Amino acid sequence: MRRAIELAKKGCGYTNPNPLVGAVIVKDQRVIGEGYHEKIGGLHAERNALKNCIEDPEGAEIYVTLEPCCHYGKTPPCTEALIEAGIKKVYVGNLDPNPKVAGGGIKILNDHGIETETGILEEECRQLNDIFFHYIQNDIPYIALKYAMTLDGKIATATGESKWITGEEARRHVHTLRHQYAAIMAGIGTVLADDPMLNARIEHGNDPIRVICDSNLRISEGSNIVKTAREIPTIIATISKDQEKIAKLEQKGCKILKTSEQDGKVNVKEVLKQLRNMEIDSVLVEGGGILNESLIKNDCVHKVYAYIAPKLFGGEKAKTPVEGKGIERIQEALVFDELKATPLGNDILLEGKVRSC
């Protein structure tokens, strides 16, 4: 199962909104086939492992990180392939929370006389698929905030300078995150200040869909984002009714997403629900303090990636990752679990998952 988990990770960034899944086939104590879900729409892990078998899998056992599917989706059910191949026993990491499967895969296997054992390295398997497990059971995508800050919690100097807070290694790392997430979200403030591309600049990187929260449609038609909207899908969420500007942006390939108004701004929850309806399973928010606050207030944050630079900026006017009024009582704080610290050059990436109460 450990090997199956390693294999599953290879699909990271290519399978959204489908899960990361790995499978290993063993016969007479020897591995005879391995596979993983390589990309959305492609063969599932079990079928890839069967395809890669170096000898007849009849009578073999399979280790698979997620319960085999039993439905006709983009591909036929894996249970069918396992039954046809004559697999004798299936070891499973997690049951599949997808309502189309949800224990049904195990049942069909058992009905065909195939032995099953579930919960093998369950926690490690589940950690592979935080995004998928959240996505399949909720009406908004999995949302992660990402920001770079100093040791005194500033994301810019008092005059607004923010290039660069962290070093090169940390900045390169951000691109691997952008590759993993299906969408990237930023506020119009960031777009006006930095004119960013918000793409994944790594080898074989998958660019996330770009979502800009732009309440009053201030984005310039000459911005890098708008200029490249035909190459990288771009959504602009707005409450503006400026039909002329909307038409111009649409002409350039942007998709305009209208929402109701919340505190004079775009209703972020509505944006997220619409993204979920478009099968976007995850959103990395490189937003700035106003957007971050609005997501936190709407209970729409599941993870944080804080890149921390060993510097002090000071200044009460220097911006911080979460603006707004903040909370009054410590008890009301958003608390994080499963913390992980990764040194990146002189900086540290601290990531954590929001504690579910």
Q: Catalogue the active-site residues.
A: 46
Stretch that binds Zn ion, among 12-20, 70-78, 169-177, 251-259 (CB under 5 A): 70-78
CB 145 within 8 A of CB 247: no
Residue 5 binds: one of ligand AOF, Zn ion, none (C-beta under 5 to 8 A by kind): none
> Which residue in the set 8, 78, 183, 213 belongs to the binding site for Zn ion (CB under 5 A)?
78
To the nearest whole angstrom, how small is the minimum distance from the Cβ of residue 60 to Zn ion?
18
Measured from the CB atom, the residue of 108 and 229 that comes closer to ligand AOF is: 108
Measured distance CA(164)–CA(152) in Å, rounded: 16
Instruction: Please report which helix (H) or strand (E) contains residue 176, including its range.
Output: helix 168-180
Residue 184 binds: one of ligand AOF, Zn ion, none (C-beta under 5 to 8 A by kind): none
Structure tokens at 16: 């959204």
To the nearest whole angstrom, how small is the minimum distance from the Cβ of residue 183 to Zn ion?
25
CA-based nearest residue to 65, from 127, 12, 142, 107: 127
74: contact with ligand AOF by CB under 6 A: yes
- Which residues 226-255 are close enough to bind ligand AOF by CB under 6 A? none
- Tell me, residue by residue from 100 to 129, as one string, x for binding to ligand AOF by CB under 6 A and - for no binding: -x----------------------------
Q: Count the Cβ atoms, other than its own, within 10 Å of residue 164.
A: 11
To the nearest whole angstrom, how small is the minimum distance from the Cβ of residue 292 to Zn ion?
37
Stretch that binds ligand AOF, among 66-74, 166-174, 193-201, 214-222 (CB under 6 A): 66-74
146: contact with Zn ion by CB under 5 A: no
To the nearest whole angstrom, how small is the minimum distance from the Cβ of residue 46 to Zn ion?
6
Phi, psi of 343 (to 5 degrees): -70, 135
Measured distance CA(246)–CA(251) in Å, rounded: 9
> Which residue in the set 8, 60, 69, 226 belongs to the binding site for Zn ion (CB under 5 A)?
69
Q: Is the peptide bond before 164 cis (omega within 30 degrees of 0)?
A: yes
To the nearest whole angstrom, how small is the minimum distance from the Cβ of residue 20 to Zn ion?
13
Instruction: Please report which helix (H) or strand (E) contains residue 274, including its range.
Output: helix 268-277
Residue 98 binds: one of Zn ion, ligand AOF, none (C-beta under 5 to 8 A by kind): ligand AOF
Phi, psi of 255 (to 5 degrees): -100, 130
21: contact with ligand AOF by CB under 6 A: yes
Measured distance CA(196)–CA(200) in Å, rounded: 12
353: contact with Zn ion by CB under 5 A: no
CB 189 within 8 A of CB 218: no
CB 24 within 8 A of CB 6: no
Q: Is the peptide bond before 233 cis (omega within 30 degrees of 0)?
A: no
Measured from the CB atom, the residue of 15 and 238 that comes closer to ligand AOF is: 15
Residue 18 binds: one of Zn ion, ligand AOF, none (C-beta under 5 to 8 A by kind): ligand AOF
To the nearest whole angstrom, how small is the minimum distance from the Cβ of residue 168 to ligand AOF?
35
269: contact with ligand AOF by CB under 6 A: no
> Which residue in the set 10, 12, 61, 75 belongs to the binding site for ligand AOF (CB under 6 A)?
75
Q: What share of the chain is helix, strand, coil (3-state, %, to 5)?
A: 30, 25, 45
What is the DSSP pairing of strand 22-27 with strand 61-66? Answer: antiparallel
Torsion angle, alpha carbons of 255, 259, 262, 267, to 10? -60
Residues that bind ligand AOF (CB under 6 A): 15, 18-19, 21, 37, 44-45, 66, 69, 73-75, 78, 96, 98, 101
